């Protein structure tokens, strides 16, 4: 079996989650509050986000969230690749 490059897989996972985060930002920026709530309620399979959704998030917090989700995605991807590589040692 081939080994997975830990850094590259981490980068792929982090980038994927960052794009998903940007998609969330786009939905919240281009729709009204009711539409945003309906979208996320349907996406999360019945969890009502009405009381926890914040549509007036400052740009600084959104950028910080983007960085945080990228780092968490990178760490998760790197961990997955590492576990895969360790479990497939010959």
> Does residue 3 sit within a domain?
no
pLDDT digits (tens, 9 = 90+) for 31-43: 999 999 999 999 8
pTM for the whole structure: 0.84
The answer to whether position 1 is within a domain reads no
Structural domain count, the chain: 1
CA distances 30 to 3, 11, 21, 59, Å, are 42, 28, 14, 15
**49 lies in some domain:** yes
Q: Is residue 5 part of a domain?
A: no
Range of the domain at 62: 11-87
Tens digits of per-residue pLDDT, 41-55?
Answer: 998 887 899 999 888
């Amino acid at each position: 079996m081939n080994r997975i490059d830990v850094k590259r897989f981490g980068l792929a996972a982090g980038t994927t989650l960052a794009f998903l985060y940007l998609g969330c930002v786009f939905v919240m920026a281009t729709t009204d509050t009711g539409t945003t709530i309906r979208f996320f309620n349907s996406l999360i399979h019945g969890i009502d986000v009405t009381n926890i959704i914040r549509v007036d998030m400052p740009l600084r917090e959104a950028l910080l969230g983007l960085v945080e989700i990228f780092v968490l995605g990178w760490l998760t991807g790197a961990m997955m690749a590492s576990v895969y590589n360790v479990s497939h040692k010959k």
